[in-house]
Chain A
Amino acid sequence: AQSVTQLGSHVSVSEGALVLLRCNYSSSVPPYLFWYVQYPNQGLQLLLKYTTGATLVKGINGFEAEFKKSETSFHLTKPSAHMSDAAEYFCAVNSGSARQLTFGSGTQLTVLP
């Protein structure tokens, strides 16, 4: 079985501040990990993904995430928040053969001017 826990359903940061969104996963086999972003009234868009290889993954819009197996974590970071980063962010894990993505409950990011 696989599961994802996102700590903090709402996160607020000031423009220019560090963004840190937390994701912990549970998987019985080596996982594939994803971060998706959802802007208001839109579908989900892939930010970045970890499959194999380098544990620090860079994505679009300046975001990156680090896979830490010992901590079963895949936290999302961005050094400097921008107003356009305000959205809902979902962490997801896939560790099965049926390509089933299991999503976390989401974190709403608010960027304050």
Chain B
Amino acid sequence: EAQVTQNPRYLITVTGKKLTVTCSQNMNHEYMSWYRQDPGLGLRQIYYSMNVEVTDKGDVPEGYKVSRKEKRNFPLILESPSPNQTSLYFCASSSWTSIPDTQYFGPGTRLTVL
């Protein structure tokens, strides 16, 4: 089954404790992206990657890091989480074609930073 998986689905942590949210896709997609969803703000892009070892900032990259060492994986790293990073996070992937293709979303990770 074609899918994007994220782990963990729920996470409660404390300020300053480094964490990683994993994202994996099995569709051989070149493009992967991280979004955060906050009430009334819709989804905002954090980082994206157009292929292995190619990443770039989205609209709200501060406080986040990413890496793309393998095509299928795109982890999101919060090195020193703060309460304002409490949010619902989505990973997405799509193929890289001449026109924007459908982005497939993971189930989401709900993060609470105390």
**Interface residues in chain A, defined as those with a beta carbon under 8 Å from any beta carbon in chain B:** 4, 6, 9, 32, 34, 36, 41-46, 49, 51-52, 90, 94, 98-106
Contact = CB atoms under 8 A, between A and B. Distances in A.
Interface stretch (B12-20, B37-45, B63-71, B79-87): B37-45
A51 B42 contact: no
A52 B96 CA distance: 17
A102 B41 CA distance: 11
Most A CB contacts (10 A, CB to CB) among B42, B45, B100 go to B100
A13 B86 CA distance: 32
B41 A105 contact: yes
B50 A98 contact: yes
Given A51-B99, A90-B43, A105-B40, A100 B108 contact: no
B100 A103 contact: no
Interface residues of B, number: 27
Interface of B: 4, 31, 33, 35, 40-45, 48, 50, 56, 58, 90, 92, 94, 96, 99-103, 105-108
Contact of B102 (A9, A46, A52, A103): A46
A86 B52 CA distance: 38
Contacts of B58: 100
Given A41-B107, A43-B90, A51-B100, 10 more contacts: A6-B42, A9-B40, A44-B43, A44-B90, A45-B105, A46-B103, A52-B99, A90-B43, A98-B50, A103-B43
